[in-house]
Chains A and B, each alone.
Chain A
Amino acid sequence: MTDVRVAGVGLTQFGSHPDRTGRDLFATAALRAFEDAGVPREDVDELNYGNFMGALAEHQGHQAPLMAEAAGVNCPSTRYEEACASAGVAVREAVRTVRAGEADVVLAGGMERMTNLPTDEVTEGLAIAADDLFEVRAGVTFPGAYALMATAYFDAYGGGRRDLAHVAAKNHANAVPNEYAQYRKEVPVEKALDAPPVAEPLHLYDACPITDGASALVIVSEEYAAGHDVDAPVAVTGTGQGTDRMALADREHLARTPAADDAADAAYADAGVGPDDVDVAEVHDCFTIAEVLALESLGFFAHGEGIGAARDGVTTAGGDLPVNLSGGLKAKGHPVGATGGSQIAELTRLLRGDHPNSERVADAEVGVAHNAGGTVASAVVHVLEVAE
């Protein structure tokens, strides 16, 4: 089996670009990734592209060929869609394709355009990641679904809004030096607690923003990197995916995310590492409670014990296991279909040493990325390691 390297990463500024088309956003990220990788565009064998709601936001389906031409590549191109895990799946399939020897170079990433829609239409658009018949028609929104999980968590295990506010404060602080982040200002715990409610117990600062943005990665085989003098010190050593029942009500437990447990187990086994080996993590904190659930699924904490991680300083930038040094979805932003690729890009920069927060994890060798779709009916976990 061929080893897989991340040769280059590219991101757009995350934030509000209401006038910029999706194709322009993805082209920007892709060109930056090629420049970072030093890999010529003509060497790309396949494009794996993630997007969730482009048909709603831009009246644009069939986006993969459009993005291939925007990025200047001429190769088989496929769009992947698993809601907010779309790019995570696109990256995973790139890893599997390279490992299988079917391709030497895959361009993987994603794009989402969201701020051109009014907030209520984005809310409705995001809700289509839930079961239309039994959830959306019953009043479930995207924040509302995570609020249901938060109430269930507090009831089962304890904890409360102040614990979640510490997650928000941590991730906002981490985003301050990140040039790609949507919000680069600190949000103190008290400010988060005082913010207006969105879906109680979740308030404004428990929720990620609405974001435009794109991510791109140049994924190559180790042989390609060696043969073309491509500097690619970070390897993708583990990949795993999990799928659960679509509707939250049908889950085994309302305050756990078994799909992410499965994805993590598979990714760790694939890489031959365990949670204790992980030095740094980027997790899918679309809502503060989601970060807590991710920490538990990734095995950093037992179920019911992750709620205090930020408040206790374990996952802060100066803690034993820094989580979401990029700022996370929470502060860096969440262009849904791009997020999974963005997490790998940030983790690669952190491990290479060229991220503004790299000094926080100077000796880090193992990183984990956790990307989730819907209320974690889909989950993708990747393990990255410093190979050189």
Chain B
Amino acid sequence: MSAPASNAGYDEWLDALADGEGYALVCPDGHGSLPPRRVCPECGSTALSEEPLAETGTVETYSVVHVAGPRFADDTPYVNAIAEFGPVRLTGVLRGAEPATDAVEIADRVAVGDRVAVGVEERATDGDPLVVFRPADGE
């Protein structure tokens, strides 16, 4: 494999997320986006500020992935999810509600509307950083 590429803006964001200090870029009108950004993709404002992510997010959709590319070969099956954290939605892997491979069992454990926390963990296949959701404490 080639050396890990550097992606200014994204790398810092991921580091912050790993430290529990994840943020969104927010314009004066309240539109959220993720870095790197010079312009709000919704309204074109260039006045973007870093705002902390909400402590917990809400699962808006999920899927159980059984067939993946080489970089996720040893992670399957895994739950992919999109969760809303205030002004932005994040995409990540939901852990801690691990299913078996059966859709009915998964539906028992994961649902749209579930509350989750977000952090950074390692991809099973190669140890690379991965945005991970886990069920929020006490839920």
Chain A residues proximal to chain B, CB less than 8 Å? 119-121, 123-124, 127, 133-135, 137-141, 143-144, 147-152, 155, 196-202, 245, 247-250, 254
Contact = CB atoms under 8 A, between A and B. Distances in A.
Given A123-B67, A151-B63, A196-B66, A133 B80 contact: no
Contacts, number: 111
Given A120-B73, A197-B103, A245-B41, A144 B63 contact: yes
A148 B112 CA distance: 11
Interface in B69-110: 69-73, 75, 78, 80-82, 88-93, 101, 103, 106
A250 B67 contact: no
Interface of B: 7, 10, 33-34, 41, 60-73, 75, 78, 80-82, 88-93, 101, 103, 106, 112, 128, 130-131
Contacts of B91: 134-135, 138-140, 247-249
Nearest to A132: B7
B59 to A, nearest CB: 10
B93 A138 contact: yes
B34 A134 contact: yes
A127 B90 CA distance: 17
17 contacts: A120-B70, A120-B73, A121-B69, A137-B128, A137-B130, A139-B65, A143-B67, A144-B65, A151-B61, A197-B66, A199-B63, A199-B65, A199-B66, A249-B90, A250-B33, A250-B89, A254-B82
Contact of B63 (A135, A196, A201, A249): A201
Contacts of A140: 80, 91
Contact of A151 (B7, B73, B112): B112
Given A138-B91, A144-B80, A197-B103, A123 B68 contact: yes
A133 B10 contact: yes
Given A141-B68, A150-B63, 9 more contacts: A120-B68, A120-B69, A127-B69, A134-B10, A135-B91, A138-B131, A139-B80, A148-B61, A199-B80
A119 B128 CA distance: 22
Contacts of B69: 120-121, 123-124, 127, 141
A244 to B, nearest CB: 11
B4 to A, nearest CB: 11
Contacts of B82: 148, 248-249, 254
A250 B60 CA distance: 12
Contacts of A198: 66-67
A121 B70 contact: yes
Contacts of A151: 61-63, 112
Contacts of B131: 137-138
A119 B69 CA distance: 8
Given A139-B78, A140-B91, A152 B66 contact: no
A155 B61 CA distance: 8
Contact of B7 (A127, A133, A143): A133
Contacts of A200: 63-64, 66, 103, 106
A181 to B, nearest CB: 23
A152 B111 CA distance: 11
Contacts of A138: 80, 90-93, 130-131
A155 B112 CA distance: 7
B10 A148 contact: no
